[in-house]
Amino acid sequence: SGQTVNVKVITLTNRADTLDPALLRPGLIDRRIEFPLLDRRQNRL
């Protein structure tokens, strides 16, 4: 034992509103990056 293990996990979802709140507790996910959906006018540009 005595070894440090670095684990990196990348998660994605298109339904953040349905995530279990236990997954969003402080210390479990260090960074959260959101890409909001574009409306139809922005999508055409």
**pLDDT tens-place string over residues 16-25:** 889 898 988 8
Please tell me the predicted confidence (pLDDT) of residue 43.
Answer: 59
Do the domain assignments include residue 26? yes
The b-or-e profile of 13-43 (16+ CB within 10 A means b, else e) is: eeeeeeeeeeeeeeeeeeeeeeeeeeeeeee
Structural domain range at position 12: 1-31
Confidence of residue 8 (pLDDT cuts 50, 70, 90): confident
- Euclidean distance between CA atoms 35 and 17, whole angstroms: 14
Do the domain assignments include residue 15? yes
Do the domain assignments include residue 27? yes
Q: Check: CB of residue 11 under 8 Å from CB of residue 29.
A: yes
pLDDT at residue 33 is higher than 70: yes
Q: Check: CB of residue 29 under 8 Å from CB of residue 23.
A: yes
Please tell me the predicted confidence (pLDDT) of residue 42.
Answer: 63
